[in-house]
Amino acid sequence: MSKLARVVQQLQKERAQAQGRIEQLDEALKALGKISTSRGTTKRHRRARTSGKRQPMSVAARRRIAAAQRARWAKWRAARKRS
């Protein structure tokens, strides 16, 4: 058998092993997915979603958001004028 044929055979063997490992990982993910959906969310996650409390936004952050929105509106108005 030539060297090239041996290399190809070895690569095919490694590919088959990798494919087997991927299938194992897929099965593990599927099993873990079933566990997490059957149990529902944890108390910590439920509390975070239902609390409704938001962290206050800084003045600087509000200003950045407002400036970005003004820039979007200006761009929209300029595009509308050109049409």
Q: What are the residue ranges spanned by the domains of the chain? A: 1-38
Half-sphere exposure of 22 (CA within 13 A, CB side): 6
Q: Position of tokens 């070895």? A: 10
CA angle 44, 48, 53 (to 5 degrees): 150
Q: Output the pTM of the full model.
A: 0.39
Helix and strand element counts for the chain (H, E): 3, 0
pLDDT tens for 68-79 read 999 999 999 999
Both tokens of residue 27?
């099965």
Provide the pLDDT for residue 31: 87
